[in-house]
Structure 1
């Protein structure tokens, strides 16, 4: 299984104007170098609430660190994160998300170069890009626009009367949540063979997503994820890692 297909390896479109195959990519530390959830948490609350907001963000970070150190599962930690946003107006979050993205992007060193280049090659070969992330649309939408992703599969904060409730709609886009979302999208594209599709991830929580496609790539070269992927697929060194 190679990391990237060559032009000769691109499956022919089965219908005019439809993608040749799909490419699923995690965001944080796979496509971009940062942890967008935590960076945006700091940015938003400092920008909107000043000193009180900075204390709130620091407290949330501390609680997340303690919870994960105590063994909290990644999807539970994801849900805990979104509780910190209770009472915040969605429109302000969306505007702040675009300001964060523009500033972070301009600072340089934002993208994981190998993944960014691979996604550009896939698009040129006729693929449709899909971001799959536990982050949320406020920070992922600008990224999707820049990289040309057609879909954003992400955690969805619940909103009532334009304000975040602190809960999420459905399940966090972590682990098995990613698998189910990828399967659901592929089910709506029956002419596309999952064996022709690619996926990029950096963490063991991306394993369920990576197992849904024929061409998985481990961004960052996590030895643990590579070994788990090889064991799950019962393959040799063909699983690619970056």
Structure 2
């Protein structure tokens, strides 16, 4: 099915548009850039996995993740994000090609392209600029005197993605039923339900069921 012109296309990022989990990749980069040994990153990642294993929601784990940036200067994170992204591009294989090609078709058709992710702007802004996306909607950070507090206003996870996408479409005078959304994980289901053209990336059963409705599609997922 061709892309729908004169609408918006909303893209989840991690393991949908890109092959990496940007939040973990950037956290490792940030710790190294601030002189902390690799063991610090591994402890942090293990701690976050344990939170998930013990049943905390993705929203709660997302909040716990950002506490690792408490006290960091926002300007430093922006600079680190640019360097992190350059390294990702140089390493190759960063973008998930089936979804990247879909994004390029949306742009060629005149659609607005919006990234919607639980990640944050040091990661998302360089990706959006590189791709020519119109906007990135990420997890907003609380910043005081130029430094992150480690707290967030609301994780851009699950229902928050749907609210953001519908709000963006409304603000720009677009009908959500003419818009498209791409996601790979069950928590992207509200985003896919917020539009008329859901695209399941990979084989999550809930997303495949949603994408089976009229106007939906399926694309190959990231290979483990």
Q: Aligning the two structures, in what range does the TM-score lie when normalised by the shorter sequence?
A: over 0.9
Q: Please give the residue correspondences for 1:86-97 in structure 2 after superposition, counting only pairs within 5 Å.
A: 86-97=70-81
Cα distance in 1 for residues equivalent to 2:76 and 2:167: 31
- Give the aligned partner of residue 198 of structure 1: 180
The aligned residue for residue 43 of structure 2 is 59
**Equivalent residue, structure 1, for 2:222:** none
Alignment root-mean-square deviation, CA: 1.6
1:83 aligns with 2:71: no
Distance across 2 between alignment mates of 1:29 and 1:175 = 15
Return the offset for 1:56. Answer: 2.7
Q: How many residues were matched structurally?
A: 219
1:30 aligns with 2:16: yes
Partner of 2:7: 21
Match runs of 1:5-20 below 5 Å: 5=3, 10=5, 20=6
Local SS of the residue matching 2:35:
helix
Task: Provide the C-alpha distance between the structure 1 equivalents of 2:100 and 2:148, rounded to a whole number of angstroms.
Answer: 32
Correspondence list, 1:12-161, <5 A:
20-51=6-37, 54-161=38-145
Partners of 2:166 and 2:176 within 8 A in 1: no
Structure 2 residue matching 1:98: 3-state secondary structure: helix
Deviations 1:2-39 (A, max 9, x none): 3x42xxx63xxxxxxxxx11010011000000000001
Structure 2 residue matching 1:225: 3-state secondary structure: helix
Residues 177-231 of structure 1: CA deviation (Å, up to 9, x unaligned): 11111121122123x221211111100111111111111111123234213x26x
Report the alpha carbon displacement of residue 239 of structure 1 after superposing the two structures with TM: 3.3
Alpha-carbon separation, structure 1, partners of 2:71 and 2:178: 43
- 1:177 aligned partner: 160
Structure 1 residue 131, shift from structure 2 partner:
0.4
